Structure 1
């Protein structure tokens, strides 16, 4: 066997990686872009900043936090801004997240735009209300084998104002081979009335930088940074029947929404069906709280379904994929006469499948609201 066939590609790969790293370092050192100006919303704000970094990071350093569920990795498509300057053609990494109109209007992913010259951008006014908070981890609790409930107390004098259903970004420090501070987005599970605290449900994702830190290193009493609030996932003020679907840590926004409804005495105002999908019984949580809600509020209906129930689960509830259960209830149990709205939170695959089921049963795209995990 000629080992050269195997060694040569590895050598080329190693050389390529080294060259890429060298180019990146050289660009930062040699190409000193100096100070550049960011004109935000036609003069609403003008920022004098150092060039060279990407637009997302630079705006954050200036106190303007553009949504980025993936932490700037270019994998969520949420950090869109309209650019009124020539910053070059759209990159291949941007195209999948932009439609034709957005491309034509020079909407860009801010994490993919490098600041080299003065630039003008347009962003929604609400982004100016997003803030960075500091606080202390007051409580960490295991709610399943792979989901932790993390409860932060904000530092004195800080209060957070958000709508039930929105999300925040947790920042963790460098550790092990992670050299930079890293942010990831998580839905807030606390109620908006608790303005001095923020709670998140964090599911362990193998290899995830922030989830690994939260599960393996984060301690009660530790200082943390949270940026909030982000997102358009909140309940619309109508009397339509709410069809809610979640799985795993997608429980978070619904916990916030339902307790917010209870506080405001809104549970009596509309029918709510909450479908929660899990593999086995060990993946279910908050069952007592949700069953209590169902017993105390006649218009609230909770349906848990296991796709792979185990004999030891002794499960007597719904079984099968959550799409199957959802479809059956939409056909047989839920009123066909009343208007319906869909609210979904979870993995892209599950959400896409459930939204297809909703459309099959007459629910329109403009009445389906969702929060897909990046």
Structure 2
């Protein structure tokens, strides 16, 4: 609910300040939910908001790219186009539904033989989802503009949490409303999408070294930015590094994109980290760092970097990843204004 209040609204509250950089506070950014309206306000509406459109899109692909993450791809209606900056997000309307039965309503061929074993192992196909009223969810887009009039999302299934060990089974907590709906969709289905939204965008003109750090489904906006900087803009005068962390090789995806970029662009470097030693990766000869992404960037790159404070950092992933990385960068003296991130739960 961030908004730029140019006149009115009073002074920014202490509870708002942690959400903004010093420059943003100076530029009159506020949290709309904390700004009391007692008179006329003058606000600045981003131009991007005026370009938001809604479409009925057609699902063209919905395959798993890891055990529990789908690459969900839709096509805009013929003749329609979305102007967006890589790193933006889209919204999808989730209709009310009585019941989505994972076993009956999820296409197991779309999950894939490679991944269905994990679903059976944890008895996830026994779950059901219910949604009594329509809602909307936001997901970062993994596609970049030159890929055409499509929207690509990476969506992790939000299952019911497991009971604490040694108990077996699931807690009495609802499954994810949106992810269950998206996982049930098949090519040819229609969905309501809107966009673009957001301001998690690269700085195209600073000339600084760019470092992306992500994990899990946080891959989406980082892929969009990196592919645009390389494939579209053909950036060769800036050092580009991407650090991506996953639990295992089978949980990492879009890897071929970045391996190809390394061959094509000498200034682009991809750093894969896996939580622990991975026999599959070892057998395939895949190069990786054993440990978490923040340790990878520390041990293999920034600890010997001459000026980490002169780089730009783009982060996307679970809250713990964002916190550990930002804490580490802060210890190096990196200005918060040089750290951009897209945080999700």
1:124 aligns with 2:45: yes
Cα RMSD for the two superposed structures: 3.4
TM-score by length of 1: 0.67
Q: What is the alpha-carbon distance in structure 1 between the residues aligned to residue 61 and residue 255 of structure 2?
A: 20
Distance 1:211 1:183, change over 3 A: same
What is the aligned partner in structure 1 of residue 341 from structure 2?
370
1:244 aligns with 2:212: yes
Segments of structure 2 that go 5 or more residues without pairing to the other structure are 10-14, 99-129, 160-174
2:201 counterpart of 1:234: yes
Displacement, 1:125?
3.8
The alignment partner of 1:366 has SS state of helix
Aligned to 2:332: 361
Following superposition, the deviation at residue 359 of structure 1 comes to 2.2
Select the residue among 343, 348, 359 that pairs with 2:319.
348
- 1:323 maps to 294
Change in 2 beyond 3 A, CA 1:367/1:281: same
Give the Cα separation in 1 of the matches to 2:224 and 2:146: 10
Q: CA deviation at 1:155?
A: 1.1
- After superposition, where does 1:69-108 map in structure 2 within 5 Å? 78=1
Shift of 1:368: 0.8
Query: Judging changes above 3 Å, is the alpha-carbon distance between structure 1 residues 119 and 220 closer, same or farther for their aligned structure 2 residues?
Result: farther
Change (3 A) 1:96 1:170: farther
Q: Which runs of 5+ in 1 are unaligned?
A: 1-77, 87-93
Partner of 1:157: 79
Q: Structure 1 residue 202 and structure 2 residue 169: aligned? A: no
Q: Is the 8 A contact 2:302 2:308 kept in 1?
A: no
Preserved CA contact (<8 Å) 2:2 2:29: no
Quote the offset at 1:194 in angstroms: 3.8
- Size of the aligned set, in residue pairs, is 286
Partner of 2:57: 135
Distance 1:224 1:360, change over 3 A: same
Partner of 1:8: none
Q: With structure 2 as the length reference, what TM-score do the two structures score?
A: 0.72
How do 1:297-312 residues align onto structure 2 when only pairs under 5 Å count? 297-312=265-280
Larger Rg: 1
**SS at 2:234 equivalent:** coil
Q: Secondary structure at the match of 2:212?
A: strand
The yes-or-no answer on 1:169 pairing with 2:91 is yes
Measured in 2, the distance between the counterparts of 1:131 and 1:213 equals 22
Distance 1:270 1:208, change over 3 A: same
